[in-house]
Structure 1
Amino acid sequence: MKQAAFERRYQPAWLAFAAQLDALERGKPPPMQADAFPAAYRQICQQLALSEARGYSSHLIEQLQQLALRGHQQFYRHRSPLLGRLLGFVLGGFARSVRAQWRYVLAASLLFYGSLISMGMLVHAFPELVYSLLPADQVAQMERMYDPDASRLGRFAERGSGDDWLMFGYYVMNNIGIAFQTFASGLLFGLGSLFFLLFNGLTIGAVAGHLTEIGYHQPFWSFVIGHGAFELTAITLAGAAGLRLGSALVAPGRLTRGAALRQAAALGIRLVCGAIGLLLIAAFVEAYWSSMTVVSPTTKYVVGALLWLLVASYFAFAGRSRHAAD
């Protein structure tokens, strides 16, 4: 069956299923009978599999993927206890949501990491460029913070457990604030998320390039490599969720802008919730591991590389089981 005929045949059912999901997500009485929902959900999954097998357009496949993801969430919402749903999300649902939104994740990654790496290389080659992004007093503060002589002079002694807890709380509040800012600003037709992805990438790249250029690379990179696996990934995913909001407003397709935005928000929130979990891990690692001075830089590099590998493996392989629950 050609795609056009396939869409004409099943489009009414997709719209009815989307309306059912909208009602369920808002906590309102659904227009469809409750006992008809499981059959409609299974039909969506079958049609998604057919679309992928027949090589239909990426736009259609993405539309069906979104319906299937939202349907899966609603289907299991009342079938599993809260703890079970949370565990299912952590063990596979989050990774599946990221893979389903891979286009936006790729776009956010190119914007964030591309600007970070490019600015780092430019500042390393042209040192004065750092002052075009950061004020001189902030640059000086960064230099004092990562001065290789600091540990020899005794300025950076090990913190007590109370200080570690305070820093953990600070990192949580600061980083989650950045993530929400990056996500919510996507409501400005995606321009806000675009700005914050570029701004954070350029700023981090400028700091990294400057500290590397003046010879402070070892204290800087050994500090950031561990928690960076979780923190930078979370910022990228929050940006991807924001770009998804912007895309729904700019190109809603056959839906109204309001319906497209609600659909994008339901999917984006899953990315943001997962990003918050990553930021909690990042804050813990930064407060209790990255700041340790008794651990050698080599050990931190090895652990950091393993943490990056762990994050990459999770998103590549978690939730691949057919029976993995959200």
Structure 2
Amino acid sequence: MKQHLFEQRHADDWQRFTTQLEALERGKAEAASCESFAADYRHLCQHLALAEERGYSSHLIDQLQQLAMRGHQQFYRHRSHLGAQMISFILAGFPQLIRREWRVVSIASLVFFGSLIVMGLLTWRFPDLIYSLLDPSQVSNMEHMYDPDARRIGRFNERDAGDDWMMFGFYIMNNIGIGFQTFASGLLFGLGSLFFLLFNGLMIGAVAGHLTRIGYNETFWSFVIGHGAFELTAIAFAGAAGLKLGWALLAPGRLRRSEALRQAARHAIQLVAGVILFLVIAAFIEAFWSSMTYTTPTVKYLVGAGLWTLVIAYFVFAGRHRHAPD
């Protein structure tokens, strides 16, 4: 690419970065106006590398080098702000975002929790229905996992206490895999997210209905009620993020599909950041609390009810003091 075309293509990006940089240097930058500073700094470094590789004029290279050096100083000077932004997102930004995106969140929650409840009731009423989703060996393995006589409950219930950290890592990878699959498949015009929301809802509902019917309800429900507050809501929100991407592709309005997708992705990725946080919390609870049998099911029900209340209150009330739009 010729230098003048390169400059024309990226001049606006460099000007935006310069404006942010000057605001930071004067100490008058607002957090909201500099959210993209880190990404813009990386892009500037990429442009500098391209200019050097292609042998563009020394004037352009010097200009980009100066911006990169100033950006480097500000990036590491203000990197502590990232921690403050993360805390702000957890305390207020995430619940505010969920309330703003209530439409896709409602659709995803209806598909996921609706299919879960309906399938659970059907499987409890019609025992053979479980085999339409799971083969006999999988059903047998599921029964073994929640056997009331097991030393521990859930996956790998024969493990020792020392393996809890290993299981914590396993649950993180498993949960995030499900969440990312549900989110990323939204690029198939939202159909992929709808499919995985429905599929996971049917699977979880079928297992719940079957285990309740055969009398394992105490071990199963006392196991899932704690981490389910975070894991199940996270799956629904991952689906909502995927639906947002899909809707941008289906109905971009007056924007080009690429631009509509870019704008939708900014909010969708923020949703996914909250989803990952919730899935990590769910993995921790599942590894270190849900599987334990040293406490009574009643205590687990009380703790689980408290966690569900906490999660619901978080999304309903957190962040309202900032008067963000709902």
The C-alpha deviation readout for 1:263-317, integer Å capped at 9, x for no partner, is 1111000000000000110000000000110010000000000000000111111
The C-alpha deviation readout for 1:227-255, integer Å capped at 9, x for no partner, is 00000011011000000000000001121
TM-score, length-scaled by structure 1: 0.75
TM-score, length-scaled by structure 2: 0.75
> What is the identity, as a one-letter code, of the residue corresponding to 1:278?
F
The C-alpha deviation readout for 1:75-125, integer Å capped at 9, x for no partner, is 556687111111101110111111111100000000000000000000000
Cα–Cα, structure 1 residues 167 and 225, in superposed 2: closer, same or farther, change >3 Å? same
Structure 1: gaps of 5 or more residues: 1-22, 39-70
The C-alpha deviation readout for 1:12-31, integer Å capped at 9, x for no partner, is xxxxxxxxxxx99xx93357
Cα–Cα, structure 1 residues 81 and 156, in superposed 2: closer, same or farther, change >3 Å? closer
Alignment partners' CA distance in 2, 1:185 and 1:297:
37
Match of 1:177 in 2: 177
Match of 1:128 in 2: 128
Alignment partners' CA distance in 1, 2:158 and 2:18:
65
Report percent identity of matched pairs. Answer: 62
> What is the identity, as a one-letter code, of the residue corresponding to 2:131?
Y
Residue 159 of structure 1 deviates from its aligned partner by 3.0
Match of 1:48 in 2: none
Match of 2:252 in 1: 252
Match of 2:160 in 1: 159
Alignment partners' CA distance in 2, 1:302 and 1:229:
13
Aligned residues: 263
1:99-110 alignment to 2 at 5 Å? 99-110=99-110
Q: Verify the 8 A CA contact 1:168 1:284 in the aligned structure 2.
A: yes
Alignment partners' CA distance in 2, 1:120 and 1:90:
33
> What is the identity, as a one-letter code, of the residue corresponding to 1:228?
G
Alignment partners' CA distance in 2, 1:175 and 1:99:
23
1:54-203 alignment to 2 at 5 Å? 73-75=32-34, 81-151=81-151, 159-160=160-161, 162-203=162-203
Which SS does the other structure have where 1:81 is aligned? helix
> What is the identity, as a one-letter code, of the residue corresponding to 2:206?
A
Residue 135 of structure 1 deviates from its aligned partner by 1.2
Match of 1:271 in 2: 271
> What is the identity, as a one-letter code, of the residue corresponding to 1:258?
S
Match of 1:304 in 2: 304
Cα–Cα, structure 1 residues 213 and 142, in superposed 2: closer, same or farther, change >3 Å? same
Name which of 8, 14, 22 aligns with 1:29.
14
Q: Verify the 8 A CA contact 1:108 1:240 in the aligned structure 2.
A: yes
1:2-17 alignment to 2 at 5 Å? none
Residue 74 of structure 1 deviates from its aligned partner by 3.8
Match of 1:236 in 2: 236
Residue 133 of structure 1 deviates from its aligned partner by 0.6
Which SS does the other structure have where 1:293 is aligned? coil
Cα–Cα, structure 1 residues 174 and 32, in superposed 2: closer, same or farther, change >3 Å? closer
Alignment partners' CA distance in 1, 2:176 and 2:170:
10
Which SS does the other structure have where 2:321 is aligned? coil
Cα–Cα, structure 1 residues 92 and 77, in superposed 2: closer, same or farther, change >3 Å? farther
> What is the identity, as a one-letter code, of the residue corresponding to 1:138?
Q
> What is the identity, as a one-letter code, of the residue corresponding to 2:14?
P
Aligned alpha-carbon RMSD (Å): 2.6
Residue 158 of structure 1 deviates from its aligned partner by 7.6
Q: Which has the larger radius of gyration?
A: 2
Alignment partners' CA distance in 2, 1:270 and 1:237:
11
Cα–Cα, structure 1 residues 170 and 250, in superposed 2: closer, same or farther, change >3 Å? same
Structure 2: gaps of 5 or more residues: 1-8, 24-29, 38-77
Q: Verify the 8 A CA contact 1:157 1:293 in the aligned structure 2.
A: no
Q: Verify the 8 A CA contact 2:150 2:158 in the aligned structure 1.
A: no
Alignment partners' CA distance in 2, 1:142 and 1:83:
41
Which SS does the other structure have where 1:28 is aligned? helix
Residue 214 of structure 2 is aligned to residue 214 of structure 1? yes
Q: Verify the 8 A CA contact 1:186 1:193 in the aligned structure 2.
A: yes
